[in-house]
Amino acid sequence: GAVVSQHPSWVICKSGTSVKIECRSLDFQATTMFWYRQFPKQSLMLMATSNEGSKATYEQGVEKDKFLINHASLTLSTLTVTSAHPEDSSFYICSALGGRGSYNEQFFGPGTRLTVL
Amino acid sequence: GNSVTQMEGPVTLSEEAFLTINCTYTATGYPSLFWYVQYPGEGLQLLLKATKADDKGSNKGFEATYRKETTSFHLEKGSVQVSDSAVYFCALSATSNTGKLIFGQGTTLQVKP
């Protein structure tokens, strides 16, 4: 149980186009999901917290108009990279917060590799 | 602010060797501490956790003890296997328990037969 999927697993796009990445909790409901960005050989950087039915909370320095997050249901959050540029090329990882008793654990998706040409 | 520092990798060991991956943290209050593992091509998985000082988390032969006096949470395993080859991330969650995690930079472990 507690599986999180991401789609697509990798995407290549031209500069100036928009790309949507989906994050789904397959066997549990998640009111909260997180989006991370990971550069090669570096740590995961939290971009935003996505809450079902409300606006996402972005971390300092993350452009909310460039990285649009929609959490329309308890099992799906989407990240849209608008007007992508080569510097947006990265590995994007989502996680979903699931409860186990009194403790909430983050379950991670396998990530999406974005390459902007 | 809160931060996590891990020893740099890659770490290369022979099978059955002893493993230590150092992790230290900076945080206000009493954070919870975690080790995550990322196998090739897969998402991060929780390996073990500790929620208060002196707690020892353990799973699959891995152990880590929450040391508040040294602000450390070092990962250890007595005898590594080839299947342990992966990237290991130390992380903390602040006292406010919003669920947000702060990660270290990750340490790549390669175990050779």
CB-CB: which of B45, B89, B99 is closest to A97?
Answer: B99
Residues B18-32 pLDDT 10s: 999 999 999 988 899
3-state per-residue secondary structure call for chain B:
CCEEEECCCCEEEECCCCEEECEEEECCCCCEEEEEEECCCCCEEEEEEECCCCCEEEECCEEEECECCCCECCEEECCCCHHHCEEEEEEEECCCCCCCEEECCCEEEEEEC
In 3D, which of B34, B8, B12, B22 has the Cα closest to residue B80? B12
Residue B89 to residue A49, Cβ atoms within 8 A: no
Chain A residues whose beta carbon lies within 8 Å of the beta carbon of residue B101 = 34, 44, 46, 106
Residue A53 has what pLDDT? 85
Locus of tokens 């971009």: A47
Percent of chain B having pLDDT more than 70?
96
Q: How confident is the model at residue A39 (pLDDT cuts 50, 70, 90)?
A: confident
Q: Which of A79-88, B45-54, B82-91, B94-103 has the lowest mean pLDDT?
A: B94-103
Q: Which of A35-49, A56-70, B9-23, B68-82 has the lowest mean pLDDT?
A: A35-49
CB-CB: which of B45, B99, B103 is closest to A44?
Answer: B103
> Above 70 in pLDDT, residue B96?
no
Residue A27 has what pLDDT? 87
Q: Which of A72-76, A83-87, B46-50, B81-85 has the lowest mean pLDDT?
A: A72-76
Residues B62-86 pLDDT 10s: 999 999 999 999 999 999 999 999 9
Task: Chain A: give the shortest CA distance to residue B92, in Å.
Answer: 12
CB-CB: which of B46, B97, B100 is closest to A46?
Answer: B100
Residues A16-38 pLDDT 10s: 999 999 999 998 888 899 999 98
> Above 70 in pLDDT, residue A102?
no
> Above 70 in pLDDT, residue A48?
yes
Chain B residues whose beta carbon lies within 8 Å of the beta carbon of residue A111 = 43
Q: Is B3 within 8 Å of chain A by CB? A: no
